[in-house]
Amino acid sequence: MKRKPVLAALAAAAVLAAGGAAVALGEDGGPPRADGHRVDDASLDDHDDHDDHDDHDNHGDHDNHGDGGDDAAHDAAEHRAETAAARRLPAPEALARALSHTPGRAVSAEIDDDPDGRLVWEVEILDRAGTLRHLDIAPSDGTVLRTRPERGEDDDARAARRLLGGGATSAARAARVAAAKGTVVSVDLEEENHGHWSVETGPGGDDWAVSLDGARLTHEPDD
């Protein structure tokens, strides 16, 4: 009866083969590593998610940086366009055109977009009846494009009458004083510090204060 030892040897070989497969695959059949241990699928997924998150964050930072650059470029282009318009018709001339149409005292003048998207001189005048009036002046030829009364500006009208009384320097004079620093793109009457003219020059967007007697010109710090 020599068949029993042969069968026993075959059974042992089968057990060893099965055991080797179990070691190679891991206890639950997961993918093996080189050292025979199973690599956890969840750890792979977590690593991929982390990489995706980092990629997303980096992409977002790049986009935000680009938006800031676009805003700065847009502002610079806007300042250049306003300065070019003001050079075609300087502030004192725009104020003279407005006052010839509506006599009174000029309170402000500014290069800005009108409702049609055109750059115009927007001028405010305190007329002889004590009413604030708004005029749009074309920088190309000084034409008065439109005029209207300013509604609900009674406090501003009273302040303008008080500040501009007694021989105060005109808006045109303040613009001429500040023109030594650049092209005037706006001039506005301010109540602070006992009253002064706030003047902006282009293309750099610098702000200046001209005293109401016209004798002092000082740089206004950025807000």
Contact 109, 122 (CB under 8 A): yes
- The pLDDT of residue 221: 82
Other C-beta atoms closer than 10 Å to the C-beta of 93 total 16
- The pLDDT of residue 167: 87
Q: How far apart are CA 81 and CA 70, in angstroms?
A: 17
Q: How far apart are CA 171 and CA 188, in angstroms?
A: 8
- At residue 147, the 3 state secondary structure works out as strand
Closest CA to 210 of 175, 159, 182: 175
The pTM (predicted TM-score) of the whole model is: 0.69
One pLDDT digit (tens) per residue for the chain, 223 residues = 444 443 344 334 333 344 443 333 344 444 444 444 444 544 444 444 444 545 445 444 545 555 667 888 888 999 999 999 999 999 999 999 999 999 999 999 999 999 999 999 999 999 999 999 999 999 999 999 999 999 888 999 999 999 998 889 999 999 999 999 999 999 999 999 899 999 999 999 999 999 999 999 999 987 6
- The pLDDT of residue 223: 62
- At residue 135, the 3 state secondary structure works out as strand
Token pair for residue 15?
């057990």
Q: How far apart are CA 98 and CA 106, in angstroms?
A: 8
Burial class (CB in 10 A: 0-12, 13-18, 19+), 153: middle
- The pLDDT of residue 67: 67
